[in-house]
Amino acid sequence: MGFTGLARWINAPSTGLELIRENIMRNHHGQLRGRWFLSVKSYRSTLGSIPGLQVHSERSMCTLTMNENVFVLLEDPAAPTRADIVTSAQNSQTSDGQVFPVPPHYRTTFLTLRPPGALEQVLHQLKARWIPVRQTAPGAQRSQGGQQLSVEGFVFAIGNDWLVRVGNVVLAGGAVKGMLLEAEYLPLPVLHSQTADGTSELLSNLLTSVLPNIREAKTVAVTISDSQWEEVLWDREEEERQLSQEKAKSEGEPDNIYVFGNEGLTSEKKGDWIGVDRDRRSAFLIIGALKSEGIL
């Protein structure tokens, strides 16, 4: 897997998918590799319906099914961000080494689950207070699990370096709400950008060339800043392990010269663009793009 970028064609016509397909195959000598299909659902909590419980804002949850993985984005507007807690801890650090209390969860939680459908089963068995934001129309998309929204299109290969995914955003009733275009540059797992929002000129140029030459076409690049992605990738267990190591060093604990098995060996750091990690970033970008437009 390589480095990926995402764009949204907001006012794509009904023939947009065929226009892009013709442009890629004729002008870029692209080859059709298969279908692109994503299933997206959105939920909201109903904690406010519990008698005597005051909830300032309901939590939201979006799920995106990609192949055999389900990516879940949970947001609690009432919870602090991890950046807020880190800043508060630094500002209120005392000389006696008191640890700043860590909340049970932060504003954003991003999970990867499998197999598809397992989350719905757990919510049903636990009678969890989550309901779909938009109920699926009777009989609509029932054969595909009743998703509230889907992305349906094609995957193309351009030479040996590029994969391009294009698909219509299809609502539960069958209406098309624009298109999504994703370009993946295969040679590099990481592509550093000089811009603050993380956009890549290489990817932007490729996506622009893929679009047909249509007047008044409204396209938007979907980006994520490093701080946002750091918030998403935060690992509580990894952070607690690092804090315990720092605490042991500060207390003068001697290093253990005896190592058994793999203990003490530095594990390889995961790359943001390898396998499911690349899919995670793609899923987060897609969910963010659809939420920003109010589609989810």
Q: What's the distance, CA 262 to chain centroid? A: 32
- 3 close to 191: Cβ distance less than 8 angstroms: yes
Q: For residues 219 and 66, what is the distance between their CA atoms, to the nearest angstrom?
A: 24
Rounded CA-CA distance 126/92 in Å is 39
Query: 136, 146 in Cβ contact below 8 A?
Result: yes
Distances (CA, A) of 158 to 161, 210, 223: 7, 11, 23
Q: Which pLDDT belongs to residue 131?
A: 85
Give residue 294's pLDDT: 86
End-to-end Cα spacing for the chain: 28
pTM equals 0.77
Quick check: 296 and 62 in contact, CB under 8 A? yes
What pLDDT score was predicted for residue 98? 59
- 80 CB-side CA count, 13 A: 12
The residues near 144 (Cβ < 8 Å, ≥ 6 apart) are 39, 150
Q: Which residues of the chain have pLDDT under 50?
A: 95, 136-146, 257-260, 262-269, 271
DSSP-derived secondary structure letter, 137: P
